Structure 1
Amino acid sequence: MVVSNSENNNDTGGNGGTPAVVLSCIDGSHYTGAVCDYSAWLAAKLSAPLKLLHNIERSNVPAVTDFTGSIGLGSQEELLEELTALEQQRAQLLVKQGKLMLQAARNRAEDAGVGQVITCQRHDTLTESVVELEDCIRILVLGIRGEEHGDAEQGLGAQLETVVRSLHKPILVVNREFQQPQRIMLAYDGGEATRKALALIAESSLFHNLSCHLVNVGPAQAAEKLLAEASAELDKAGLAVTASHLEGNTVEALIAYQEEHQIDLTVMGAFSHNRLRDLLMGSITAKMLLKTRQPLLLLR
């Protein structure tokens, strides 16, 4: 069954007992195909509907400029009419382009075996959309960079941090072509966000039959206790667990472990609640997003 709703901003799905969705952000960027593929994988593993979201942001549809001070009054009315017509045409083209993206993504998801696909086109920012739809979201999937970055291979998307800080649902950040995860790594420090991540891994069908690497970077004595407690919880859930204590710089140690053990997906806590601390000390989340070559599943 395929449901299409792409006409307005009132499509909020998930209310009235409707199952929460895997929300996939489609924008025509380099990562759109991979975002769609990871979203389809998640929807299939979780037996959840897949909702494809495309945003037309107000900044992409410029307002008509008033040229009163720079052109003669006699010419102004005619010029403004032409500009208005051009901008209306451009807005219509953006809508059409977005619908074509959504159709292509829907076809791709259906080909991957997703049973229920919903499409949604909204005229607001990505952050506004996901905040409004939060109650309907089971997991959000988006690319590490949007279409405004073109084919750039470095940097983070303009709205990525804002979205991650605004949403209190799991967020999968995609930074490579789809590769079905076989080995996951949980960067565990015992904090609130990583305890949520631990519970998610233990309880969700998403991680069944995957090899789980549990790692901690920090003082050895504290790490031993944290890893033992977390390992016991994962063992109880029937997961195959490898626990490791790492030393050195946190980000460098995690990246090295990823590469050595061919980790396909890393699960970790997201930005802290203290923006000033993140600004002064540097956010581990941001550094991991910039340096990792594997998707990150973030929890706050």
Structure 2
Amino acid sequence: MTEQVMAAIDGSPVSEGVCDYAAWASLALDAPLTFLHVVDNHPQTAEADLSGNIGLGAREHLLEELSHLDEQRAKIAQERGRLMLQAAKERAVEDGVAEPATRQRNGTLVETLDELEEEIRLLVIGKRGETAHQAREHLGSNLERVVRGLHRPILMVPETFKRPERVMIAFDGSKTTRKGVEMLAQSPLFQGIPVHVVIVGAETGDNRSQLDWALKTLRDAGHEAEGAIRAGDVEPTLHAYQEEQNIDLLVMGAYGHSRIRHLLVGSTTTVMLQRAEVPVLLLR
């Protein structure tokens, strides 16, 4: 089974960014690209049950009408999704991808990705889904569940594509982030892109040796690499460094027993993701 770049699209404006970043990743990784659209036949906005509000004689007729409406709604959603997938495919071809594939599934995004996990090399997904467009900093609950459940790298992207020119990895010496440095060093995705390694913490001998290891690993693989140790709270410190250095892609370990782990899966789960204006690659 060939692992592929899989891009989850819906009707939100961020889907354009998903298409372009997915095409970039597919070309850089020399991996097949598949666009995925999931038709959720059980939308979260519950409709009122009108069947009990009328006389018994008309109830059966109304239930038939409601059933017919549900069928029509499902057909429209499928056709809408088919058109979105076709548009995404055409956009990817314009971006240089030879033969992007499309898949449409019924169910929920989280369940579908769980089923397809073994086929995924990299998942590209928008920061805000179709139902979250009204709140700029709202991170869709779908995305949060995907981050918690999928054991594959996830590239979370904004609406507008910008080819990454400077990458930053949040590093704490944990097993997950050491694996992240090694992956980043070897990945064709970051070939020729300068890498910044940032440790949030005190200037200690241990932190300095961890940083030196990360920089050596990257430089040995041919990367231009810089490092910094900054004191402060994780999220504002990383955000400040990102702005200062014009970083346009963040790399973070989604799990690992660390301060960064608690940023992503503790009570402040989505702070960094909410505020990031650039793509975030979450490693598992």
TM-score, scaled to structure 1: 0.87
For the 8 Å contact 2:263–2:272, the answer to whether it is kept is no
1:50 is aligned to 33
Which residue pairs with 2:203 in the alignment? Answer: 220
Deviation at 1:220, TM superposition (A): 0.9
Instruction: Describe the superposition over 1:6-36 as per-residue Cα deviations: whole angstroms up to 9, x where unpaired.
Output: xxxxxxxxx3xxx211010101112000011
Partner of 1:109: 92
Secondary structure (helix, strand or coil) at the match of 2:141 reads coil
- Runs of 4+ residues deviating >3 angstroms: 61-66, 271-274, 276-283
Structure 1: which 5+ residue stretches go unaligned? 1-14
Q: CA deviation at 1:116?
A: 2.3
Q: CA deviation at 1:293?
A: 1.4
Q: What is the aligned residue count?
A: 280
Q: Distance in 1 between matches of 2:109 and 2:82?
A: 16
Quick check: 1:172 aligned with 2:155?
yes
- Between the aligned residues of both structures, percent identity stands at 43
Contact map agreement 1:172 1:296 (CA 8 A) in 2: yes
Equivalent in the alignment of 2:70: 87
**Which of 161, 186, 189 in structure 2 is aligned with 1:206?**
189
Q: Partners in 2 of 1:35 and 1:279 — Cα distance?
A: 22
CA distance in 2, matches of 1:199, 1:147: 35
Structure 2 equivalent of residue 270 of structure 1: 254
Inter-partner Cα distance in structure 2 for 1:277 and 1:47: 34
Q: 1:286 to 1:280 in 2, by over 3 A?
A: closer
CA contact (8 A) 1:217 1:248 kept: yes
1:139-218 to 2 correspondences below 5 Å: 139-218=122-201
CA RMSD of aligned residues (A): 2.3
Residues 272, 278 of structure 1: 8 Å contact kept:
no
* 1:255 to 2:239 alignment: yes
The structure-2 alpha-carbon separation of the partners of 1:63 and 1:56, relative to structure 1 and needing over 3 Å to count, comes to: farther
8 Å contact kept, 1:271–1:278: no
Compared CA separation, residues 88 and 79, structure 1 to 2 (3 A)? same
Q: Distance in 1 between matches of 2:156 and 2:162?
A: 14
Q: CA distance change for structure 1 residues 278 and 212 in 2, over 3 Å: closer, same or farther?
A: closer
2:187, 2:92 → 1: CA distance? 22
- Number of the residue aligned with 1:282: 267
* CA-CA distance at 1:76 after TM superposition: 2.1
Distance 1:273 1:126, change over 3 A: farther
Aligned-partner SS, 1:159: helix
Which is worse superposed, 53-62 or 203-212?
53-62
Closer, same or farther: CA 236–35 of 1 in aligned 2, 3 Å: same
Quick check: 1:217–1:223 contact (8 Å CA) kept in 2?
Answer: no
Conservation of the 8 A alpha-carbon contact between 1:49 and 1:115: no
1:278 Cα deviation from its structure 2 partner: 6.5
Corresponding residue for 1:122?
105
